[in-house]
Chains A and B, each alone.
Chain A
Amino acid sequence: MANDKSKTPINVGLFATCLVDLFRPTVGFAAARLIEAAGCAVHVPEQTCCGQPAYNSGDSRHARQIARQVIESFEIYDYVVVPSGSCGGMIAVHYPDLFADDPDWNRRARALAAKTFELTTFLADVMKIDAAEAISAAHDGTATYHDACAGLRELGVRDQPRELLAGVKDLALVEMDDTEACCGFGGTFCVKYGEISTDIVSRKTAEVVKTGADLLLAGDLGCLLNIAGRLKREGSSVQVRHVAEVLAGMTGEVPPIGEIGSERGGENNGKKDGN
């Protein structure tokens, strides 16, 4: 759905997520570029975290305090877009639960939840962009896509990233077996139960490698850091990126996750590293 830019633009608050803010700013810029390409104005209000670490640790007091802060910063926008199904799910599904006993905040949480979307669902379902037309991205290689749990099961992210990736020139997509199985990240789980988490991610990397793809994509940086970290530890040459980097055509601007940019400019094609 192309917008008439002469009218009031659609204002989107970009909730970058703490992991993108800290580890992978390029994903934030990629998301912004895609949202702008869909005809919206992007705003990045001051932000920290969605509160999920507290919420999933049973610390609902802190989770509520942080949720109020997010609601206050973002409720002024037409939409809130999040390049993560996990943090998107926190706002869109769990915020209203957090304020079940507080009618005023519950109303505000529900209003925010209703206009909060994971990035690829916003592009495909809300803005209904034609991927091939709106995104003139190209990436020569074969990718496989990991379905991150919260996006998949809380927000129904499954077809949208695949539809969008189908519009990326020269990119082939192969499906891995059990792509809907968890990668073992699980927020604080991955450090609290590091050995179990490592075992779970090893099943995932085995499936990734089995596909023969040279690029692993997903929509959640937590999973990506986990899978990339394990692939590198195993000595694999499979590259790892956030789906937004490929969709926005920004793979030339940053090396794959966990790799070094020494051959910058020569590695925007998703080829094996170490060349």
Chain B
Amino acid sequence: MEFMKPGAFKDNARAALADQDLRSAMTMLSTGMIPNRQGAVDRLPEFEKLSQRGRELKDHVLAHLDFYLERFERNCKAAGGHVHWCATAEDARREVLEICRSVDAKTVTKGKSMIAEEIHLNEFLEQHHIEPIETDLGEYIIQLAEEPPSHIIGPAIHKTKDQVSDLFLKHHAKLGRTERQTEPQKLVNEAREILRQKYFDADVGITGANYLIAETGSSIIVTNEGNGDLTQTLPKIHIVVTSLEKVVPTLEDATTFLRILARSATGQEFSAYTTISTGPRQDGDMDGPEEYHVILLDNGRSAMLGSEVQDMLRCIRCGACMNHCPVYQSVGGHTYGTVYVGPMGAVLSPALLGVAETKHLPCASTLCGRCEEVCPVSIPLPRLLRQWRQRAFEAGDVPSLERWGLSVWAFFAKRPWLYGLGARLAMRGLAYLGRDRGRMRKLWFAGGWTDGRDLPAPEGQTFQERWRKQQRERAAS
């Protein structure tokens, strides 16, 4: 479906700021996610050390990515799995479709996967008459609402409970559920009961992967609902859609990340389910798929290696940066118009989609640095946002008014005498305008400021003017 575009960021933001349901849903961040994360971090004395270790591990893997990916492929194949290298989103979609067609699949169940979102897999499958069924509760909600996720770990975080009640009633009434449920547990149960049979009916189960283990050829997913396990063990085929940078050397290395992931994300010590898959069902296994496929997506990532934004490839998709971002808290994820949102999205999206298409995203940040502070793998997000701003500026992707304004400002800033003269005149003027109340309610050339705030008036004379005068008086006396 057509949804918001990153180019319309400002319009999207305006709509978001006026959306009372969104505003009430987003308070969840400050009352839940933020204090929960802090509590979990405080309870683990070695969090900092693990975080440092995680960062080093990721940097090591990125420096030897080819080695670990080939090792993963070898071991995955040895366990009976298949690995599909896909340079682009289109390649990945085609591979998934081919696998689905090999068993004439009518429905596929899906665990939560941001890579599936990145390649817009659901729309593609629907176009080819295969019904995708989201089994993660949040993903299920937004699938009913026909919306993209607004958060990388809480896809329906923008929805209030009331909105979910309405949505379930609207879509489940035809399935005989005509009572509007309002208690969270009852809503969960209703979704669970409706989804139950779908797991058995599905021909293919698609999940993402939090980690790929090079030494064993395994993939790991973490969930809180157990939906991933049913998605990947019940159907004939399990497809893992994932990307290059998810590989880690060993199982033990994965545990380093698992210990910081849930704590950073939701403030849990550990996700409720951590599931490791190695190849298809083996002789003697009680359950499991007959085929196990890994779709290994590049889609612009290998081009980030060795670039100024390589650090972004360390990201473990915990979402802490967006939870703590003042801009995200105000406007929510849909405003970004991209699959990845918040600070990590504003850094990753220009790499995946191009700078021109996404130029608002790196600019729409106060650079407050809280994202970097809470990032468990120390990605210098503000620095990377500035990198994109610099590239956009150098490529001429900056409005001419802004460029002109900067040039005029720089012209004066490089000429202190002229600057001082201009400053003295301007401040006298502003002080005059604000003389009655010490502030201005409206200034035609500063609407961006005065629409929501008064502008405090300057004292009148500049500091340097007064200082020099004082120095002269001191010298004279």
Contacts and interface: CB of A to CB of B under 8 A. Distances in A.
Interface of A: 16, 18, 20-29, 32, 44, 46-49, 51, 53-60, 62, 65-66, 69, 97, 149-150, 153-154, 178, 180-182, 184-187, 189-203, 225-226, 228-230, 232-233, 254-255, 257-261
Contacts of B17: 195-196, 199
B58 to A, nearest CB: 22
Centre residue among B383, B402, B464 by max chain A CB count within 10 A: B464
A186 B389 CA distance: 14
A25 B465 CA distance: 9
A21 B462 contact: yes
Nearest to A16: B463
B421 to A, nearest CB: 12
Contacts of A257: 456
Given A196-B13, A196-B364, A25 B461 contact: yes
A97 B413 CA distance: 20
B398 interface: yes
B458 A23 contact: yes
Nearest to A65: B414
Given A66-B414, A186-B365, A258-B438, A201 B453 contact: yes
B413 A225 contact: no
A21 B423 contact: yes
A51 B394 contact: no
Given A192-B448, A193-B327, 17 more contacts: A22-B463, A25-B459, A25-B462, A26-B459, A28-B467, A49-B409, A57-B402, A58-B393, A59-B410, A69-B414, A150-B369, A153-B373, A182-B326, A194-B451, A230-B452, A255-B438, A257-B456
Contacts of B373: 153
User: Top 9 nearest A-B pairs by Cβ distance?
Assistant: A198-B452, A186-B366, A58-B393, A229-B453, A191-B448, A58-B389, A194-B448, A258-B456, A182-B368
B391 interface: yes
Centre residue among A20, A59, A187 by max chain B CB count within 10 A: A59
Given A22-B427, A44-B464, A48-B416, A198 B364 contact: no
18 contacts: A22-B462, A29-B463, A29-B466, A46-B417, A46-B464, A47-B464, A48-B412, A51-B413, A58-B392, A180-B370, A182-B370, A189-B364, A189-B367, A195-B451, A197-B366, A201-B452, A258-B456, A259-B439
Contact of A55 (B327, B386, B417): B386
Interface in B439-458: 439, 441, 446-449, 451-458
Nearest to B458: A23
Contacts of A261: 438
Interface string B384-401: 001011111110001000
A53 B416 contact: no
A190 B326 CA distance: 13
A195 B450 CA distance: 10
Contact of B363 (A20, A192, A226): A192
A66 B370 contact: no
Given A149-B369, A229-B455, A57 B449 contact: no
B285 interface: no
B90 to A, nearest CB: 32
Contacts of B449: 190-191, 194, 229
B270 interface: no
Nearest to B402: A57
A26 B420 CA distance: 17
B143 interface: no
Given A47-B416, A60-B390, A150-B369, A232 B439 contact: yes
A254 B459 contact: yes
Contact of A260 (B13, B329, B437): B437
Centre residue among B365, B370, B459 by max chain A CB count within 10 A: B459
Nearest to B464: A21
Given A200-B327, A225-B455, A59 B393 contact: yes
A233 B366 contact: no
A48 B454 contact: no
A200 B330 contact: yes
Contacts of A28: 463, 467
A57 B456 contact: no
A197 B452 contact: yes
Contacts of A225: 455-456
A239 B10 CA distance: 32
B366 A182 contact: yes
B411 to A, nearest CB: 9
Contacts of B327: 193, 196, 200
A259 B440 CA distance: 10
Given A25-B462, A29-B466, A260-B438, A181 B453 contact: no
Contact of B448 (A48, A57, A190): A190
A78 B363 CA distance: 36
A205 to B, nearest CB: 10
Nearest to B455: A229
Contacts of A65: 410, 414
A233 B452 contact: yes
B368 A22 contact: no
Given A196-B13, A225-B456, A260-B437, A181 B370 contact: yes
Contacts of B432: none
Contact of A196 (B30, B330, B390, B402): B330
B14 interface: yes
B124 interface: no
Contacts of B407: 62
B229 to A, nearest CB: 38
Contacts of A23: 427, 456, 458-459
B203 interface: no
B85 interface: no
A72 to B, nearest CB: 11
A258 B390 contact: no
B436 interface: yes
A58 B390 contact: yes
B240 interface: no
A198 B326 contact: no
B33 interface: no
B419 interface: yes
A178 B454 contact: no
Nearest to B23: A199
A66 B14 CA distance: 35
B410 A258 contact: no
A149 to B, nearest CB: 4
Nearest to B462: A21
Nearest to B414: A65
A202 to B, nearest CB: 8
A190 B373 CA distance: 22
A181 B402 contact: no
